[in-house]
Structure 1
Amino acid sequence: MLLAAISMMVALSGCRTPTPTTIPPTDTPTPTATPTPTPSRGYRVVGNQIVDQDGIPHTFRGISLPGLDWYHPEWGFEKYLNRETISRIKSWNANVVRLPLFQRPWRENGEYVQKVLEMVRWIKEEGMDVVLDLHLSERGDPSMPFENLNEPPMPDIQSIGFWVSVSAVFGDDPSIVFELYSEPHDVSPNVWLRGGNVDGYTAVGMQTLLDAIRSGGSKNLIVVNGLNWGFNHSNLPRLVGTNIVYGSHTYTNWEESNTEAEWMAAFGFLAVEYPVMLSSYGDINGDCEGRMLIDDLLAFAEGISASHIGWAWFVGGCEFPSLIEDWEGTPTASGAVVKEFLRLNSNP
């Protein structure tokens, strides 16, 4: 990936950084052979656990694959969004892949919808589950240039239609998880829950999105991230509904996210009553030396029976933060920790 693209990708990724720039088009990947699909598993919430169709507790342990979240029809799809990449993620022993999505091309571009369907099919054929994440909204303006979106703090009215449509497509597959909105930030707990005016547009709250999904009959697991860029649930109300998982985007070497006490205060306390998922985690130390903190964070997650999904399978440097150094899957320093942890711990 060209260096000119990195600032945009970081800005619209799981981390919190600079203003986007334009991403050039990339080549279309060559299809590869596919194995026999694995039958879909079903998941539901029982108490503070996620259980499968047989009632056995399940922990999602996996990796995020960005790229669909910054799609634009003039740029095309990133060449690494192919079957080979999915196979390489599987080789790390991941049991889930998180796909960040953008609501505009889902609404306007049939080619984008088909690409999402293709990615989901490849992931499932490798025997992994899928988390579909609404990564950013349009600040209430469907015509706003992509480069001006700049990490909207909350979903907007168009996000309701996105989730109604996505749940209509995938609602019959209980192995697919819906993550309502990637990183809510800089709003009150009431706006987070119910919506309201934010930065000149009408934000839609988490309860509204959950209700929109359930209105079509979908029973899929729904991940609800906290405030402070998805990290913190400490002052937030709980949602009304079923099959809810409380998510946290937890980045070490970041404010109030470096110790067990801080993790417990932000999201760990929820695990007594609800299932918890670190729906995105990583280390944003620019010198790539966050191995110990990632180790500590994963041990903490396992200790509270929380699922966890590492950010990200992308060649973008430590600040992104990336788990790989190249598209062949050579791990970074923190990626090596994640790879070894998945090797030792991941369930089917």
Structure 2
Amino acid sequence: MRHPPRLFALLSGAALVLASSAFAAMGTASGAAAPSCTVQYSVAGQWAGGFQGALTVTNNGAALTGWSLGFDFPAGQTVAQGWGAKWSQTGAAVTAANESWNATLGTGASVTAGFIASWSGANTAPRGFTLNGTPCDTGPGPDPTPTAPAPTPTPTPTSTPTPTPTGPTDPTDPVPGAPELSVIGNRLTDQNGATRRLLGVNRSGGEFMCVQGNGIFDGPVDDASVRAIADWKANTVRIPLNEECWLGLDNIKPEYRGAAYAEAVKGLVGRVLARGMTPVVELHWTYGQYTGNSSGCADVHASCQKPMPDARYAPQFWTSVANTFKNDRRVVFDLFNEPYPDRATSTTGQAWACWRDGGTCQGIGYEVAGMQDLVDAVRATGARNLVLVPGIAYSNDLSQWLTHSPTDPTGNLAAAWHVYNFNACSNEACWDSTLAPIAARVPLVAGEIGENTCGHGFIDRVMNWFDARALSYLGWTWNTWNCNSGPALITSYDGTPTSFGIGLRDRLRSLN
């Protein structure tokens, strides 16, 4: 988000996996049965009257140019909405048909789709899977009702034994306080395996005050002000940082750079942790002169949002930050605020290549550090902390994130997305087509949500969409600015909300 001139709810539950393989007759007495497809079913989160499920189907037969997965819900469950497929239901029969972007399903290829559904009485696993009419299972799966242990199934010669969860299928108890977050499939999980969501606010100031010579943070960051955030029932605070201030470059006043700046940041991180919340440290403003399309400033220094991080200092920044926090996996790393190489390049393909690989990028006059460079810098320190990776178009476009995502040896990456009412991808149709496929594969975190209306009608829609899918979001911003230009969540650091902030505050409290 650009700035003025001066300037949990937990849907817990370990995944319950049902893997079933279908066998089609070969037509010979002596030949072994040939599998036609494999379906994996999981419940990522369950709550009173509702749950989130996912299905991954692997095609073991001939390549398909269109597919339709069918199954039955035997206990009256009803699909309310879904993603990754076109969902429909008639009585107990549910169908998930391909979208245009995932219609091709080659031999050995898999596709995943997810849904939100209601249940009552018992949440029995679906059965009777078919792929384009060909059976994919031969018997019922386990019953993932959360209040009783799952029975141990008896294998038969014609079906693959269904794995039995270890212990009762009650939702796993989350660890108290801020968790050490890990990526399991498309979920964020804590040390106990409980599903976690990042729900909270941004605390702006650390990115601009120091480079403007006015301090380190904009407003108080003492324990009372952090407690006020926790009183909203937030569980996460995102902390934007300035590259030059952290590294102590000599264009920054001595009292606001280097060790003084880093100690102030560590102090805020510690107070956030002490209040049981997750701190997200994020690289916001960086070095490098850019005067092209949508330039925020002509300054070579880190005094505005640049289209991409620079190769000169950004890897150094992340090496230093990762070394500082690598022994505390409760701290999350957000690689770069809002990349916009698409404003400088001729094609979207060039923008995504620049985003991932960096180097010499069209229209950008400095050497760029790509997202892969920054992931490499973090992991080279031995840090295993969760890393958030934003998209392009000011983090509002994730359309090619899966295709271009950087490689992480720890597998601990999540996608970061930003949205305001004035962005291009700011409606449910775009979220269904662009975000849902991402959320079906990796954890999705809306690092900034906001609007410039001084109301909360738009973020209400965003939160509705994200809540329905048990995803994460953080409001911009916990600062006492004018809510039109900020936008600002509060009028006072005691937590008094603006008209805009009321929407986020009330939602966070309702989820707790």
Which structure has the higher relative contact order (CA within 8 Å, separation 6+)? 1
Answer yes or no: is the 8 Å Cα contact 1:40–1:174 preserved in 2.
Answer: no
Residue 122 of structure 1 and its aligned partner are, at CA, apart by 0.8
**Which residue of 306, 327, 338 maps to 1:172?**
327
* Matched AA of 1:230: S
Select the structure of larger CA radius of gyration. 2
Residue 145 of structure 1 and its aligned partner are, at CA, apart by 5.5
Residue 173 of structure 1 and its aligned partner are, at CA, apart by 0.9
Answer yes or no: is the 8 Å Cα contact 1:276–1:305 preserved in 2.
Answer: no
Correspondences of 1:84-99 after superposition (within 5 Å)? 84-99=224-239
Partner of 1:196: 359
Partner of 1:156: 310
Q: CA, structure 1 residues 55+283, in 2 after alignment: closer, same or farther (shift >3 Å)?
A: same
Q: Percent identity?
A: 28
- Deviation string for 1:270-309 (max 9, x for gaps)? 0111100001111123xx23x2221110011122221111
Rounded Cα–Cα distance in structure 1 between residues aligned with 2:274 and 2:320: 23
**Which residue of 241, 247, 265 maps to 2:416?**
247
Provide TM-score, normalisation by structure 1. 0.84
Q: Which has the higher helix share?
A: 1
Partner of 1:9: none
* Matched AA of 1:238: S
* Matched AA of 2:203: L
Answer yes or no: is the 8 Å Cα contact 1:139–1:149 preserved in 2.
Answer: no
- Calculate the aligned-residue CA RMSD, in Å: 2.1
Answer yes or no: is the 8 Å Cα contact 2:417–2:448 preserved in 1.
Answer: yes
Rounded Cα–Cα distance in structure 1 between residues aligned with 2:315 and 2:432: 31
Partner of 1:35: none
Residue 186 of structure 1 and its aligned partner are, at CA, apart by 3.0
SS in structure 1 opposite 2:397? coil
Q: CA, structure 1 residues 150+103, in 2 after alignment: closer, same or farther (shift >3 Å)?
A: closer
1:76 aligns with 2:202: no
- Deviation string for 1:51-73 (max 9, x for gaps)? 00000000010110011111327
Of the structure 1 ranges 150-159 and 233-242, higher mean CA displacement relative to structure 2 is found in: 233-242
- Deviation string for 1:181-216 (max 9, x for gaps)? 000003300000000335210111001101110111
Rounded Cα–Cα distance in structure 2 between residues aligned with 1:255 and 1:98: 21
SS in structure 1 opposite 2:447? strand
Rounded Cα–Cα distance in structure 2 between residues aligned with 1:118 and 1:167: 16
Rounded Cα–Cα distance in structure 2 between residues aligned with 1:62 and 1:136: 22
Partner of 1:123: 272
Partner of 2:55: none
Partner of 1:7: none
Answer yes or no: is the 8 Å Cα contact 1:230–1:249 preserved in 2.
Answer: yes
Q: CA, structure 1 residues 326+257, in 2 after alignment: closer, same or farther (shift >3 Å)?
A: farther
Rounded Cα–Cα distance in structure 2 between residues aligned with 1:271 and 1:176: 22
Residue 40 of structure 1 and its aligned partner are, at CA, apart by 5.4
Residue 314 of structure 1 and its aligned partner are, at CA, apart by 0.7
Structure 1, unmatched stretches of 5+, are 1-13, 24-37
Provide TM-score, normalisation by structure 2. 0.58
Rounded Cα–Cα distance in structure 2 between residues aligned with 1:313 and 1:72: 18
SS in structure 2 opposite 1:50? strand
Partner of 1:28: none
Which contiguous aligned blocks of 4+ residues in structure 1 show a shift greater than 6 angstroms?
none
Correspondences of 1:1-348 after superposition (within 5 Å)? 14-15=1-2, 20=5, 41-72=179-210, 74-77=213-216, 78-108=218-248, 109-139=258-288, 149-157=303-311, 158-187=313-342, 188-198=351-361, 199-236=364-401, 237-241=404-408, 242-252=411-421, 254-285=422-453, 288-289=454-455, 291-318=456-483, 319-346=485-512
Structure 2, unmatched stretches of 5+, are 8-175, 249-257, 291-297, 343-350
Rounded Cα–Cα distance in structure 1 between residues aligned with 2:264 and 2:208: 13
Residue 39 of structure 1 and its aligned partner are, at CA, apart by 6.5
SS in structure 2 opposite 1:42? coil
Partner of 1:3: none
Answer yes or no: is the 8 Å Cα contact 1:67–1:81 preserved in 2.
Answer: no
Rounded Cα–Cα distance in structure 1 between residues aligned with 2:177 and 2:460: 33
* Matched AA of 1:315: T
Rounded Cα–Cα distance in structure 2 between residues aligned with 1:156 and 1:201: 7
Partner of 1:5: none
Rounded Cα–Cα distance in structure 2 between residues aligned with 1:149 and 1:314: 19
Answer yes or no: is the 8 Å Cα contact 2:322–2:378 preserved in 1.
Answer: yes
Answer yes or no: is the 8 Å Cα contact 1:231–1:266 preserved in 2.
Answer: no
Q: CA, structure 1 residues 39+250, in 2 after alignment: closer, same or farther (shift >3 Å)?
A: closer
Answer yes or no: is the 8 Å Cα contact 1:50–1:275 preserved in 2.
Answer: yes
Q: Which has the higher strand share?
A: 2
SS in structure 1 opposite 2:314? helix
Rounded Cα–Cα distance in structure 2 between residues aligned with 1:344 and 1:39: 19
Q: CA, structure 1 residues 221+200, in 2 after alignment: closer, same or farther (shift >3 Å)?
A: same
Residue 269 of structure 1 and its aligned partner are, at CA, apart by 2.2
